[in-house]
Amino acid sequence: MSTGPNEFDLIARYFTRPAPSGFLGVGDDCALLKLAPGYNLATSTDLLIEGRHFFSDVDPKALGHKALAVNISDLASMGAQPLACLLSLSLPDVKADWLKAFSDGFYALAERAHCPLLGGDTTRSTGGVIINVTVMGQVKPGQALLRTGAKVGDDIWVTGTLGAADIALRLLQGRLPANNDLLKACRAALEWPEPPWAFGKALAGIAHAALDISDGLAQDLGHILKASACGAELDYPALPLHPALHGMDADLVQEAALAGGDVYQLCFTASPDRSIRIQELADRAQCRVSRIGQIVAEPGLRIRGADGVLIEPSFIGFDHFS
């Protein structure tokens, strides 16, 4: 795309930092990266559009973080170790403060997750801001955590907590009555997701199937069930609700936990005889994990309450995914 002098300056100022040794970063026609011998390349890309995936007035630092985080969660859910990323930006105008904050948020996560920014593209947008991030990672052949891998008898696990991002989104959209304390407690889950990349990588070769929760636990788990031709029983009281949800309306909590999106934590399945090992790996990665159910042969998703009785979720759109 046409790149005026302004844009070259912009790239040099905000999106050029030294590449790790053995890698070639920003400045040439291609980036070069080094895979460990014998590994496969895992790659994924996500597009974020202003007004659709983020609010126009969102903190640009949080946006930079989230643009990378939602991609790193795809690597984590495959059991892949982050290697590098590319960033394409389409901007209606050049706002120095916005770009500085965005790139600071982006680089802070890139550095923590060892996922250096090696290149991208920058264009002028005729509409709003459009952000595209591509991540690359590495995983040993045969060890990637595919959606097709779940087996009858597997435990179902989730990382982190559920529900807070959905509550924050409802508050910001005015779908819940304004409540500043609640927004304060839930907002980080929506705007600063922390995908468990170190733990995801550790699950390679141990878990059977995994994905990152972007559209809601029930729907996303449904993708694993469909791909693996099996069903699941969830133990509702075992779901790791975000603490801010305690004491809220039970139906709302149920919908936020089961159908709330933007979680960017992992749902994975593994043989029960791996549970001690999984807990050890989670402790080492300082990642919360919860066992929330089992994979069963009978198709569909069933959810049991404290008394073992089936729960019929009251929210629209819950169709058992059978």
Sites of contact with Mg ion (CB under 5 A) = 121
Q: How far is the CB of 209 from ligand ADP (least distance, A)?
A: 33
Task: Return the number of the residue (43 or 265) whose C-beta is nearest ligand ADP.
Answer: 43
Give the Cα separation of 24 and 272 in Å (integer).
43
Q: Does residue number 5 form part of the binding site for ligand ADP (CB under 6 A)?
A: no
**Total binding residues for ligand ADP by CB under 6 A?**
14
> Any known ligand binding at 44?
yes
Residue of 260, 272, 173, 169 whose CA lies nearest to 220: 260
d(CA 243, CA 246): 6
Tell me the C-alpha distance between 132 and 45, whole Å: 7
Contact call for residue 132 and ligand ADP (CB under 6 A): no
317 binds, among ligand ADP, Mg ion, none (CB under 5 to 8 A by kind): none
Token pair, residue 292, equals 């929330």
Here the tokens at position 183 are 């927004």
Q: Give the residues across from 88 on adjacent strands.
A: 121, 132
Residue 163: other Cβ atoms inside 10 A: 28
Closest contact distance (angstroms) between CB of 315 and ligand ADP is: 39
Q: Taking the complex as a whole, how short is the minimal distance between the CB of residue 13 and ligand ADP, in angstroms? A: 11
For 236, half-sphere exposure in the C-beta direction (CA atoms, 13 angstrom radius) is 22
45 annotated as a binding-site residue: yes
Which CB atom, from 76 or from 86, has the smaller least distance to Mg ion? Answer: 86
Q: Which two tokens mark 99?
A: 């770009």
* 136 near ligand ADP, rule: CB under 6 A: no
**Distance of closest approach, residue 74 Cβ to ligand ADP, in angstroms:** 19
d(CA 64, CA 162): 23
**Binding partner selected for residue 236 from Mg ion, ligand ADP, none, CB under the kind-specific 5 to 8 Å limit:** none
Per-residue binding string, ligand ADP, 303-322, x by CB under 6 A, is --------------------
Q: Which residues contact 301 (CB under 8 A, 6 or more apart)?
A: 218, 221, 222, 225, 231, 232, 233, 234, 320, 321, 322
Residue 212 and residue 159 in contact, taking contact as beta carbons nearer than 8 Å: no
Tokens 């304060």, located at residue: 184
Binding segment for ligand ADP (CB under 6 A), chosen from 48-56, 120-128, 236-244, 292-300, is: 120-128
Neighbours of 209 (CB within 10 A): 26
CB 125 within 8 A of CB 91: yes
Applying the rule CB under 6 A, the residues between 26 and 55 that interact with ligand ADP are 26-29
Shortest CB 88 distance to ligand ADP, Å: 6
Least distance CB 46 / ligand ADP (angstroms)? 15
Q: Which region, judged by CB under 6 A, interacts with ligand ADP, from 44-52, 62-70, 114-122, 261-269?
A: 114-122
Q: Using the rule CB under 6 A, is 117 a contact of ligand ADP?
A: yes
State the binding site: 29, 44-46, 53, 74, 120-121, 147, 212, 214-215, 262, 318
Binding residues for ligand ADP, rule: CB under 6 A, are 3, 11, 15, 26-29, 87, 89, 117, 119-122
